[in-house]
Amino acid sequence: MFSRAHKALVALFFFHAPFGQCRVNTIIRDVAIIGGGASGTFSAVRLRDEGKSVVLIEKENILGGHVNTYQDPVTGTTVDYGVEIFHDMQIVKDYFNRLNVSWAIEVLGPRSSAPDYLDGNTGQTVKYKAPNPVAGLIAYAEQLSKYLNIGLGFFLPDPVPDDFLLPFGQFLAKYPDIGNATYTIFSYGQGLGNFLDQPTLYVFKNFGLDIIQGISSGFLVTTSSDNYEIYDHATKLLGSDVLLSSRVVSTQYRGDHGVELDIETPTGTQVVIAKKLLIAIPQKLNNMNRFALDTREANVFREFGNSGYYTSLVRNTGLPANFTSYSVSPDTPYNIPRLPGVYDVVPTAIHGVFDVKYGSPHSVPDGFVRKQILSYIKKLQANGFAENVSGDPEFVAFKSHTPFELTVSRDKIANGFYKDFYSLQGHRNTWYTGAALHTQDSSLIWNFTESYVLPELLK
Ligand SMILES: Cc1cc2nc3c(=O)[nH]c(=O)nc-3n(C[C@H](O)[C@H](O)[C@H](O)COP(=O)(O)OP(=O)(O)OC[C@H]3O[C@@H](n4cnc5c(N)ncnc54)[C@H](O)[C@@H]3O)c2cc1C
């Protein structure tokens, strides 16, 4: 058997070998990118445009990560039931222009002028009157404005401010002027799990000044209402540099000379040898264990917990075409609904098809969520919201987005977790990007990647 050191030398040789001399099934690139969601696809396109050779390895059979677009087979109408909106930022416009994706700025109105506020578990009406959030949002923005750097990444003051560590419910008790904006912040921050228990830092990151700006002056949307277009065009542009339905099965070498990875693909095992590695998948320990982690790396990744976030399209509900419900709880602070449970049921552009979102503080099995969603629709029918029920509700589409929000404990935040995480950039010729390094927001992640990650990969 060859030793690891010998393999490293072989890898080094490959970097200088003309392609014809390489092993069959060996892919040699400047940068290997793992994960073809928002951050990985953006990185692949940008690095290629800057003259680097890349390979993008994605476990699913399409690129796009949390982007889910359903096309109605009868009318051709498309519905985005995953990622919907982007920020009015130059980097987003440049990226979309590069991919030939047409965009517009749209001020989002309320989805319904008279939504039903229902208990997200029982489907019963809750006496709830949505407060005007404006004064609360201004008070919230005042607090956020003290920490502009966190809009760019996890660039935390040292020491970490106590307010960042307070559970968000306690932060609201400390700054009662924000109270009326709580449900608005919650509804944009779907997927955060137990929202009032999360350290305020994560709420600040999730609902930052860019979101407040977007609410007032508009978000960027694709004019086709088909966000998959971004990834369809990227897939075509990247061509054979994309390996779909593929994953790393083992890491032969990762260090000063680059990386050597064994990749399982639909056509068999391939070896990828690259000068640099960019990891753009959720960096949870169980998703990282094929990368031959050292203790320093494992000690960072093992700290992540996660929430669960699920999205679906349901038809045959019997609900009126414009039925819209938002979940609230009759007896929790600020009426924030208890999870696991349904977030909301909203109509889509396809007649009779409703978008139903579901959240949990932790991962739960897909089968459980599917049952819960269908049983919730039946509760709505039993509670008299349906007009004409015939047959059972059924899924047009369902997607688990678990693991979603990656978070660590308050103690870990206070003790420098994000410094330790960021200090891994470049360690063993490996870099990281994606939501765990910033927040669940494609536009902001692209900005982070462009500003702080790509310059290192372009050296
Ligand atoms: C329902 C929903 C709605 C959202 N709406 C918006 C929105 O409107 N606007 C917005 O800006 N953001 C939105 N987000 C958040 C946004 O999608 C994320 O912030 C963004 O996708 C994160 O990018 P990422 O590259 O970190 O991860 P992802 O986009 O999740 O990409 C990770 C990729 O890695 C792949 N992968 C995972 N493990 C492996 C592995 N072992 N090997 C190979 N590949 C792997 C995954 O399949 C995925 O394609 C939404 C998210 C969800 C779930």
What is the per-residue pLDDT across 73-93, written as a single tens digit (0 to 9) for each? 999 999 999 999 999 999 999
Q: What percentage of the chain's residues is helix, strand, coil (to nearest 5)?
A: 40, 25, 40
- Ligand 1 mean position, distance from CA 430 (Å): 20
Residue among 278, 286, 277, 283 at smallest CA distance from 252: 277
Burial class (CB in 10 A: 0-12, 13-18, 19+), 157: exposed
- Ligand 1 mean position, distance from CA 12 (Å): 33
Nearest-angstrom CA–CA distance, 294 and 297: 5
- Are 347 and 243 members of one domain? no
Give the mean pLDDT of 216-226: 95
Q: Which domain holds residue 149?
A: 109-217+307-400
Residue 23 pLDDT: 53
- Are 128 and 209 members of one domain? yes
Q: Which residues contact 7 (CB under 8 A, 6 or more apart)?
A: 252, 253, 260
Q: Is the pLDDT of residue 4 over 70?
A: no
- Which tens digit of pLDDT belongs to each residue from 280-297? 999 999 999 999 999 999
| Residue 79 domain flag | no
Q: Closest ligand 1 atom to the C-alpha of 66? A: 17
Structure tokens belonging to residue 111: 């989805």
262's enclosing H/E stretch is strand 258-265
Structure tokens belonging to residue 386: 């349906």
Residue 160 pLDDT: 98
| Residue 324 domain flag | yes
Return the best residue to mutate from 103, 270, 442, 444 for the ligand 1 pocket (most ligand atoms within 8 A of CB). Answer: 442
At residue 19 the predicted structure's pLDDT band, cuts being 50, 70 and 90, is very low
Nearest-angstrom CA–CA distance, 391 and 399: 23
| Residue 96 domain flag | no
Nearest-angstrom CA–CA distance, 457 and 46: 11
- Structural domain ending residue among the three candidates 357, 378, 400: 400
Residue 389 pLDDT: 86
Residue 22 pLDDT: 47
- Are 8 and 61 members of one domain? yes
| Residue 83 domain flag | no
- Which tens digit of pLDDT belongs to each residue from 398-411? 999 999 999 999 99
Q: Is the pLDDT of residue 3 over 80?
A: no
- Are 137 and 212 members of one domain? yes
Q: Is the pLDDT of residue 228 over 60?
A: yes
Q: Is the pLDDT of residue 227 over 80?
A: yes
- Are 154 and 244 members of one domain? no
- Are 202 and 314 members of one domain? yes
Q: Closest ligand 1 atom to the C-alpha of 440? A: 19
- Are 32 and 60 members of one domain? yes
Structure tokens belonging to residue 424: 């891994």
HEC assignment per residue over 352-410: CCEEEEEEECCCCCHHHHHHHHHHHHHHHHHCCCCCCCCCCCEEEEEEECCCCCEECCH
- Are 295 and 312 members of one domain? no
For residue 440 and ligand 1, the question of a CB distance below 6 A is answered with: yes
Choice between 203 and 8, residue whose per-residue pLDDT is larger: 203
| Residue 93 domain flag | no
Residue 141 pLDDT: 98
- Ligand 1 mean position, distance from CA 207 (Å): 17
Q: Which residues contact 249 (CB under 8 A, 6 or more apart)?
A: 262, 263, 264, 269, 290
Nearest-angstrom CA–CA distance, 182 and 188: 10
- Are 179 and 126 members of one domain? yes
Residue 12 pLDDT: 43
Average pLDDT over all residues of the chain: 94
